[in-house]
């Protein structure tokens, strides 16, 4: 329950955050989020790190590097300065460990949420997709009737394919109507819903609904399934959201990290933070 509540809070916050960004192209919205994330990260780093000690260590390293150049012909002095540089570098890394561990928590939550918006795109009307249902017991694959419901938003183009060894049942569907729809899996007397996104615009896309609390950390858009239904997970295989710069394909996660890191270093002076 605590995990579901956390997902509900964080997901709701990001829905509000993305509401005004929906008018931008995906790369523009991702750039804004990346810069804001960089600013937040450098501010947090400044609050949870020992800024005075970091400043002193960095000053010593710079001074000793200058000394190496100044006394480059005196081997004994250079070796002593290099030992001090290595010692101070290790101290600097140690001072950065705890702040970086603290930063990992919000960064993880942000990445999970961004994956909902930039990892995949909605189905276009007329496009096909695979729907996979994993059950908790292999006997359910053949012994219990399982079907898909949700017309007229989509049509089911194939009969169910049963994979007993994988405890999985799969269908191919074709999107029909644009909009935010609900695909329903009927298993015996239980009916379980799964979000289905169809449309031309980019937006939040939930690919998986599951019973696992661990998986729900990575796919937080929908509530966890009740394991008593016999279904472990429902997955819709969407297409990746295309992102490109000057005709070159860009991975959203690489772009996010690159821009947020650049923004952090660019804004460290604004916040008066030593990195």
In a domain, 242, yes or no: no
Q: In angstroms, rounded to a whole number, what is the distance separating the alpha carbons of residues 38 and 141? A: 47
Q: Tell whether 106 and 141 lie within a shared domain.
A: no
The answer to whether position 243 is within a domain reads: no
Angle at which helix 51-70 crosses helix 75-118, to 10 degrees, equals 130
Query: What pLDDT does 117 receive?
Result: 95
Q: Is 215 helix (H, G, I), strand (E, B) or coil?
A: helix
Closest to 117 in 3D by CA, of 181, 35, 30, 175: 30
Same structural domain, 110 and 140: no
Q: Is the pLDDT of residue 255 over 80?
A: yes
Its domain, for residue 103, covers: 2-119+249-271
φ/ψ (deg, to 5) at 184: -115, 135
* In the predicted structure, residue 18 carries a pLDDT above the cut 80: yes
Question: Are 195 and 98 part of one and the same domain?
Answer: no
Whether residues 225 and 254 share a domain: the answer is no
Q: Are residues 230 and 254 in the same domain?
A: no
pLDDT tens column, 121-177: 999 999 999 999 998 888 777 777 888 887 789 999 988 888 888 889 999 999 999
Strands (E), 113-262: 128-135, 146-149, 154-156, 161-163, 168-175, 179-187, 190-198, 208-210, 231-237, 244-245, 248-249
Note whether 267 and 193 are same-domain residues: no
> What is the spatial distance between Cα 210 and Cα 194, in angstroms, rounded to a whole number?
10
Rg of the chain over Cα atoms, rounded to whole angstroms, equals 25
Assess whether 67 and 147 both reside in one domain. no
Q: ∠ CA(125), CA(131), CA(135), 5° rounding?
A: 160
Into how many domains does the chain fold?
2
Could you report the per-residue pLDDT of 58-67, keeping only the tens digit for each? 888 888 888 8
Predicted confidence (pLDDT) per residue in 32-56, tens digit? 999 999 999 999 999 988 888 888 9
8 A C-beta contact, residue 238 and residue 121:
yes
115 plus 6 within the same structural domain: yes
Distance CA(59)–CA(203), nearest Å, equals 47
pLDDT tens per residue, range 73-93: 778 877 888 888 899 889 888
266 plus 213 within the same structural domain: no
Say yes or no to pLDDT of 1 above 70.
no
Closest alpha carbon to 178 in 131, 124, 127: 124
Residue 63: inside a domain: yes
Together in a domain, 83 and 21: yes
Residues 108 and 160 in one domain: no
Give the predicted TM-score (pTM) of the model: 0.86
Would 192 be classed as within a structural domain?
A: yes
The CATH number of the domain holding residue 157 is 2.60.40
Q: Are residues 23 and 66 in the same domain?
A: yes
């Amino acid at each position: 329950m605590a995990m579901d509540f956390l997902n509900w809070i964080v997901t709701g916050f990001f829905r509000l955050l993305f509401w005004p960004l929906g008018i931008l192209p995906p790369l523009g919205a991702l750039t804004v989020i990346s810069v804001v994330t960089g600013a937040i990260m450098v501010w947090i780093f400044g609050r949870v790190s020992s800024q005075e000690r970091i400043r002193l260590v960095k000053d010593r390293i710079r001074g000793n590097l200058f000394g190496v150049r100044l006394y480059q012909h005196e081997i004994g002095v250079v070796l002593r300065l290099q030992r001090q540089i290595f010692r101070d570098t290790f101290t600097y890394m140690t001072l950065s460990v705890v702040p970086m561990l603290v930063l990992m928590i919000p960064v993880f939550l942000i990445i999970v949420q961004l994956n909902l918006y930039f990892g995949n795109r909605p189905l276009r009307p007329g496009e096909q997709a695979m729907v996979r249902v994993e059950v908790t017991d292999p006997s359910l694959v053949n012994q219990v009737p399982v079907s898909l419901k949700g017309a007229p938003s989509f049509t089911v183009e194939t009969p169910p394919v049963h994979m007993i060894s994988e405890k999985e049942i799969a269908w191919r569907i074709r999107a029909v109507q644009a909009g935010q729809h609900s695909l329903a899996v009927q298993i015996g007397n239980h009916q379980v819903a799964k979000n289905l996104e169809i449309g031309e615009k980019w937006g939040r896309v939930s690919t998986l609904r599951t019973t696992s609390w661990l998986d729900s950390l990575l796919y937080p858009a929908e509530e966890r399934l009740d394991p008593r239904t016999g279904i472990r997970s429902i997955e819709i295989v969407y297409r990746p959201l295309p992102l490109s710069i000057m005709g070159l394909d860009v991975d959203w996660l690489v772009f996010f990290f690159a821009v947020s890191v650049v923004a952090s270093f660019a804004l460290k002076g604004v916040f008066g933070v030593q990195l």
